[in-house]
């Protein structure tokens, strides 16, 4: 479905999980396997040059390989056959040592790990860019007051900087998790037919270590042919990042509604238009993000289900990962890239944010008045009194300030100037700046340039 790639998967991760890169990952395994076996004296060194020379994806007939995989049950079997035939045309003796000691799943899984390494590196870069873009917007809008909303209704004043800081806080945690996860995830798969490397006799451990070194991967304590928790953790990381950014896009689209108009997507020719309504500026970036994040939980569910793998090699569960995991990752890559463009170019209407604070005629500040009045008449009595005045303000479409100034039980304790001060949203931000500064400090510490 490549027509939708620019909309949903336009990031560097898509190329990493292309068909060509999938084949190249498996061929990189085969080249490294030949090197490791030669280093350990398992195959003759004379076979090495001919094998490695043909471990390039462009040397394969991908269409023929795909057709053969339908009968073979996986891509590795026809890949090894094609590779062997290609090597044989150059060196018949060397062709005898292609794929020595490995099984199909070793090839496919390690090839995937090599792709994942590139994918995680690209994701780390995207994440750093997202953190930087958010940091700049938070600093720009640390004091931009707007309505905080709970249950989709006005709650108390916050700043747009604090709203963004919540997203940054989550992304910093995902960054930490990525750093912790990589050593666990980037491991060699090499176990042979049943996970014992029996075909290599007593040299299995030596070849495995040499192979891990050649590919710059960690050697697993045991082959993990049917223990897929590492891949599940990787998938969960991508799904979690997409969830955080999906929440951001959902909030953004709500703040972009005509009646709210506090945010807008970046302006560009032809962006967000309608085929019939020339006035429209649709949240197309938010739609793309939310489209992907709607699909990702289902893909994640498939990967959870595929953990149930039989004995030493799976029937169905392993195979279900082949398309599902790359789809999940490339969709998340699109989410990250689209969100980055949205964060960098967002249109922020601070005037509208401030105006929206006043649409309830001061009711958003009712708690502030209640707490001050409670010092004199008690919290329950103050809450009951201010609640009644709020109902009157709504029913009569009157400013709360006027009703407070007309209420003897209020004016007995609060002056007109005090009431005005209590109804000023700027005076009711609490620890807003403290929270923002804490997140910004952690972002600076976590992403500082190495000395």
3-state secondary structure of 154: strand
**Eight-state DSSP code of residue 216:** T
Catalytic-labelled residue, pool 216, 274, 415, 431: 274
Q: Which tokens belong to 199?
A: 């075909």
**Using CA atoms, how far apart are residues 4 and 14, in angstroms rounded to an integer?**
12
Other Cβ atoms within 10 Å of 389 Cβ, number: 21
CA pair distance 353, 145, nearest whole angstrom = 7
Phi/psi at 346 (nearest 5 deg)?
-60, 145
Dig out the tokens for 45 from the structure.
Answer: 């060194």
Rg (Cα) of the chain, in Å, rounded? 30
Answer yes or no: are the C-beta atoms of 296 and 242 closer than 8 Å: yes
Main-chain dihedrals φ then ψ at residue 218, nearest 5 degrees? -75, 140
In contact, 142 and 436? CB cutoff 8 Å: yes
Residue 230 a catalytic site member:
no
Q: Give the active site residue among 313, 354, 402, 442.
A: 313
C-alpha dist (Å) from residue 68 to 102, 165, 367: 20, 52, 70
Q: How far is CA 322 from CA 37, 106, 186, 193, 303, in A?
A: 28, 14, 17, 20, 10
89 is catalytic: no
The secondary structure of 247-305 as a DSSP string is HHHHHHHHHTSTTT-SEEPPP-TTTT--SS-TT----HHHHHHHHHHHHHHHHHHHHHH
109-123 in b/e burial notation, b at 16+ Cβ within 10 A?
A: bbbbbbbbbbbbebb
Who contacts 282 (Cβ-Cβ below 8 Å, separation ≥6)?
272, 273, 274
Backbone angles phi, psi at 310, to 5 degrees: -85, 130
Residues assigned a catalytic role: 274, 313
């Amino acid at each position: 479905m490549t027509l939708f790639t620019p909309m949903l998967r336009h990031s560097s991760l898509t190329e990493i999980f292309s068909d060509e890169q999938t084949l190249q990952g498996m061929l990189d395994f085969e080249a490294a396997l030949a090197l490791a076996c030669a280093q350990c004296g398992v195959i003759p060194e004379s076979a090495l040059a001919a094998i490695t020379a043909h471990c390039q994806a462009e040397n394969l007939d991908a269409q023929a390989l795909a057709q053969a995989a339908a009968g073979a049950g996986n891509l590795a079997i026809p890949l090894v056959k094609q590779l062997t035939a290609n090597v044989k045309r150059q060196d018949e003796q060397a062709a005898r040592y292609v794929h020595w000691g490995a099984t199909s799943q070793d090839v496919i899984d390690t090839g995937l790990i090599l792709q994942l390494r590139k994918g995680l590196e690209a994701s780390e870069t995207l994440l750093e860019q997202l953190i930087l873009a958010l940091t700049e917007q938070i600093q720009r809008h640390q004091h931009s007051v707007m309505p905080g909303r709970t249950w989709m209704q006005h709650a108390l004043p916050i700043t747009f900087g604090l709203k963004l800081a919540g997203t940054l806080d989550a992304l910093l945690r995902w960054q930490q998790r990525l750093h912790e996860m990589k050593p666990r995830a980037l491991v060699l798969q090499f176990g042979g037919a049943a996970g014992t490397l029996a075909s290599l006799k007593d040299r299995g451990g030596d070849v495995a270590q040499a192979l891990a070194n050649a590919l710059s991967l960690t050697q697993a304590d045991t082959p993990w042919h049917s223990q897929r928790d590492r891949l599940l953790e990787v998938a969960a990381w991508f799904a979690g990042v997409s969830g955080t950014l999906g929440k951001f896009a959902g909030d953004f689209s709500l703040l972009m509604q005509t009646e709210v108009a506090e945010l807008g997507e970046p302006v560009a020719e032809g962006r967000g238009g309608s085929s019939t309504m020339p006035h429209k500026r649709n949240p197309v970036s938010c739609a793309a993000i939310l489209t992907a994040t709607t699909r990702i939980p289902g893909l994640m569910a498939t990967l959870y289900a595929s953990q149930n793998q039989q004995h030493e090699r799976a029937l169905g569960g392993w195979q279900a990962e082949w398309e599902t995991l790359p789809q999940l990752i490339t969709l998340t890559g699109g989410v990250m890239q689209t969100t980055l463009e949205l964060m960098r170019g967002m249109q922020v209407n601070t005037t509208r944010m401030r105006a929206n604070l006043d649409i309830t005629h001061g009711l958003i500040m009712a708690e502030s008045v209640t707490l001050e009045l409670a010092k004199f008449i008690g919290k329950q009595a103050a809450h009951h009194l201010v609640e009644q005045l709020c109902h009157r303000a709504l029913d009569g479409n009157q400013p709360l300030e006027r009703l407070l100034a007309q209420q003897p039980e209020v004016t007995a304790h609060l002056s007109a100037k005090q009431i005005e001060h209590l109804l000023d949203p700027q005076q009711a931000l609490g620890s807003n700046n403290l929270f923002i500064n804490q997140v910004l400090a952690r972002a600076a510490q976590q992403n500082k340039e190495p000395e």
